[in-house]
Amino acid sequence: MTINTLARLICLLLTPALLPTAAQAQARPEPVAGNPIIKDKYTADPAALVHKGTVYLYAGHDEAPARQERYVMHEWLCYSSQDMVTWKEHPSPLNVKAFAWAKDDAWASQVIERNGKFYWYAAVEHGSIPGKAIGVAVSDSPTGPFKDARGSALITNDMTTEAKISWDDIDPTVIVDEKGQAYLYWGNTICYWAKLKPNMTELDGPINKVTTLPKFTEAPWVHKRGNWYYLSYAYQFPEKIAYAMSRSIEGRGSSRAF
């Protein structure tokens, strides 16, 4: 296994700017790259989708009043850009209320496109099964509106019983490999993965665990570069970002497997 600590910045979503000199920094303390790109609302857990030359940025919307420490998150937001500089806000494409079985908490999510449809995997609080759950919404447009694709949760807390917490089913991320097989990764304290059926709304086999991630906390994210799959994740507190590498998307068959 190869684990490397990164300083991954969300500036990947921003246009790079020249660093100012010391004199310039004193004269102009404000950021020069347009950061943050969302200035009028509190947002969390950004995830990006590139579709037909446009970047779509999805994030949870925190509406907590001043001096309240707990999140108040009922909906997700969507922004788009064609130049990574100018961002357009769209009407909220998804609310927790779209999942009739859910109770609250618009937590981390991701949207992917497949066969002309857009699938939104989102972590929420389940209404009748204690703990967090993962739902799937679908739309014909990346800006929505999205609707519940199943009528029930894809993942519930009673499906993953090894963790000692009720919020281990959060932070879903999906990747489709070259053969067309879709994989769902998610978790807190334990990193889970499972195959998805071609309809993108059902599991295709058992729930598995990635057992070789030291001090895994949450926020898995899988991508491929060259012949390697990379699984990025957050670990420890205060949280840091690390990644593991494998020749296999399932983390098998390599001495550097995740």
Residue type (1 letter), 50: V
Rounded Cα distance, 206 and 192, in Å: 10
CA 250 to chain CA centroid, Å, is: 19
112 located within any domain: yes
At residue 1, does pLDDT exceed 50? no
26 located within any domain: no
49 located within any domain: yes
19 located within any domain: no
If you average pLDDT over residues 222-234, what whole number do you get?
A: 96
Round to the nearest angstrom and report the end-to-end CA distance of the chain.
6
CB-based contact 43:59 (threshold 8 Å): yes
Give catalytic residue positions.
Answer: 45, 218
30 located within any domain: no
10 located within any domain: no
| Tokens read off for 250 | 């399932």
Out of 9-18, 42-51, 71-80, pick the least confident: 9-18
Residue range(s) defining the domain that contains residue 128: 36-246
pLDDT of residue 66: 86
CB-based contact 201:165 (threshold 8 Å): no
Rounded Cα distance, 123 and 171, in Å: 6
Helix/strand/coil for 157 = helix
Query: CATH number, domain at 187?
Result: 2.115.10.20
Rounded Cα distance, 179 and 88, in Å: 34
Q: For residue range 51-76, what is the model confidence (pLDDT) as tens digits?
A: 999 999 999 999 999 888 899 999 99
Name the domain count of the chain: 1
